[in-house]
């Protein structure tokens, strides 16, 4: 059977399973087993055990439950409420007001966690209840959280960037530096859409508070100091090289517990509830990761990603046409693969094509990361959609529709860095010199 036809069949089966209410992780694993049992000569049972173990036996992954726990502590001990109260007077005159905290929070937290799932889960746990309680539109809140959560893999440090740098034999530091400007650009696009939407839908945004003086704003901002100091400390120890992302996550948990105890809002009841909430969310994410890893093994054994890349290579396209077709190919792969697997399984064929076409490998790394971000919010295997679905009870297709305008912002960002590659390359060239 044709390899691409096999891919289409597996995608159809996955859609049937997800539509029938099968658990997300189970649907991914079932598709993986069917693909290996009927279309390869490998042993699906053996690969199932190895995929589940390899996907979760990771020191870096230990940061995920710790960051989720940090978010649970902030949410359950009223620290998040105090943080929003401190931000409110400063955002009062900006259309959208506190909606911008989802973008800002994901940008800051993404620079610490390096994980899209951890960023989405933690900021959603803190921000979503506060926004809904204050009367903000649920649809725009869900859409912004699903897409802004992907900033965790664009704003350095990023595991996805490290994987690409190794695959492309490129400088990790240059890749990291190249991610800052597109990350800030994307945050600006997200916030710009929120401003535009708020101006068009004033009835869906709570009315502004009464004007306040600078002295009043500063006094109200006092509640920002504890959480702000914790975030600054976590960012500082990571950037200064004193701690890894996992160690930073541990510092975040200890700091959150200390702040909650200091504010006298920590009780045995909310401590236990936060721990159980963390366990449920982390197990859900890691179970999905395991199912996705098994499906990725199936894709590797069947050769579908490589076949797509080889097909593109035979077309002998112009540089711009090549970028256009690769964008389409990676969007297709994003419906069934996680971002790291997309890079690993296609790099051997795609990177020589990119170099031959004259594109900068550092620029292409950011281009790939942006496509991976799109994959995180693309059904049926959009990972951030799954995270929010399990946290809110909303259907993943509902969340995907809410994220559609922000999806458009991702596309606009890709177009801008393609038309103006200096957006990506100017910072690494300025700091480290032009890479010849």
CA–chain centroid gap for 92, Å, is 28
pLDDT of 157: 63
pLDDT of 371: 87
Answer whether residue 15 is part of any domain. no
- Count Cβ atoms within 10 A of the Cβ of residue 320 and give its class: 0-12 exposed, 13-18 middle, 19 or more buried: exposed
- Identify the residue whose tokens are 């077709």: 325
Name the phi and psi angles at 206, rounded to 5.
-55, 150
In the structure, what pLDDT confidence band is assigned to residue 246 with cuts at 50, 70 and 90?
confident
Which whole number is the average pLDDT over 14-31?
79
Which whole number is the average pLDDT over 284-300?
79
pLDDT of 228: 75
pLDDT of 84: 66
Is residue 336 over pLDDT 70? no
Q: What is the pLDDT of residues 179-217, one digit of tens each?
A: 889 999 999 999 999 999 999 988 888 877 667 677 777
Is residue 313 over pLDDT 90? no
pLDDT of 4: 66
Full domain range(s) for residue 76: 60-208+226-283
Q: Which of 63-72, 127-136, 273-282, 402-411 has the highest mean pLDDT?
A: 402-411
Answer whether residue 385 is part of any domain. no
| Measured distance CA(248)–CA(272) in Å, rounded | 22
| Measured distance CA(113)–CA(349) in Å, rounded | 31
pLDDT of 189: 94
Answer whether residue 154 is part of any domain. yes
Lowest-pLDDT choice from 45-54, 151-160, 262-271, 316-325: 151-160
Answer whether residue 253 is part of any domain. yes
Q: Give the percent of the chain with pLDDT over 70.
A: 87
* The Cα angle at residue 330 between residues 100 and 319, in degrees rounded to 5: 105
What Cα–Cα distance (Å) separates residue 61 from each residue in 117, 129, 349, 410?
Answer: 11, 26, 29, 26
pLDDT of 186: 92
Length of the chain: 436
pTM confidence score? 0.72
pLDDT of 185: 93
In the structure, what pLDDT confidence band is assigned to residue 113 with cuts at 50, 70 and 90?
low
Answer whether residue 323 is part of any domain. no
Answer whether residue 171 is part of any domain. yes
Q: Do the beta carbons of residue 175 and residue 363 sit within 8 Å? A: no
Answer whether residue 74 is part of any domain. yes
Q: What is the total count of domains within the chain? A: 1
Answer whether residue 237 is part of any domain. yes
Q: Do the beta carbons of residue 108 and residue 67 sit within 8 Å? A: no
């Amino acid at each position: 059977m044709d390899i691409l036809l096999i891919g289409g069949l597996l995608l159809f089966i996955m859609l049937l399973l997800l539509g029938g209410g099968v658990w997300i992780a189970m649907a991914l694993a079932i598709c993986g087993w069917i693909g290996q049992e009927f279309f390869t000569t490998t042993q699906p049972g053996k690969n199932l055990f190895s995929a589940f173990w390899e996907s979760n036996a990771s020191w870096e992954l230990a940061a995920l439950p710790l960051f989720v726990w940090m978010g649970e502590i902030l949410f359950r001990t009223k620290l998040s409420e105090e943080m929003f109260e401190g931000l409110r007077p400063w955002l009062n005159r900006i259309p959208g007001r506190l909606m911008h905290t989802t973008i800002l929070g994901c940008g800051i937290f993404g620079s610490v966690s390096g994980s899209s799932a951890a960023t989405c889960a933690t900021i959603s746990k803190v921000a979503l209840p506060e926004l809904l309680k204050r009367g903000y539109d649920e649809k725009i809140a869900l859409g912004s959280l699903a897409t802004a959560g992907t900033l965790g893999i664009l704003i350095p440090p990023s595991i996805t960037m490290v994987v690409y740098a190794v695959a492309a034999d490129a400088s990790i530091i240059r890749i990291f530096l190249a991610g800052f400007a597109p990350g800030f650009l994307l945050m600006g696009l997200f916030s710009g859409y929120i401003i535009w939407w708020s101006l068009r839908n004033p009835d869906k945004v709570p009315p502004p508070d009464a004007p306040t003086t600078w002295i009043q704003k500063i006094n109200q901002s006092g509640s920002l100091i504890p959480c702000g100091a914790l975030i600054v400390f976590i960012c500082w120890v990571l950037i200064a090289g004193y701690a890894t992302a996992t160690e930073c996550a541990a510092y975040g948990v200890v700091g959150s517990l200390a702040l909650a105890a200091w504010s006298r809002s920590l009780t045995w009841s909310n401590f236990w509830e936060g721990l159980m909430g963390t366990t449920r969310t982390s197990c859900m994410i890691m179970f999905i990761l395991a199912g996705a890893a098994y499906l990725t093994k199936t894709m590797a054994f069947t050769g579908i990603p490589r076949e797509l890349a080889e097909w593109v290579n035979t077309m002998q396209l112009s540089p711009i046409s090549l970028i256009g077709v690769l964008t389409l190919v990676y969007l297709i792969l994003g419906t069934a693969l996680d971002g790291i697997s997309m890079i690993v399984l296609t790099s051997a064929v795609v990177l020589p094509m990119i170099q031959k076409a004259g594109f900068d490998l550092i620029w292409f790394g950011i281009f790939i990361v942006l496509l991976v971000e799109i994959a995180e919010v693309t059904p049926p295997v959009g990972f951030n959609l799954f995270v929010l679905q399990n946290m809110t009870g909303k259907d993943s297709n509902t969340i995907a529709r809410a994220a559609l305008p922000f999806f458009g912002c991702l596309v606009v960002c890709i177009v801008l860095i393609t038309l103006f590659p200096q957006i990506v390359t100017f910072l690494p060239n300025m700091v480290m010199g032009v890479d010849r």
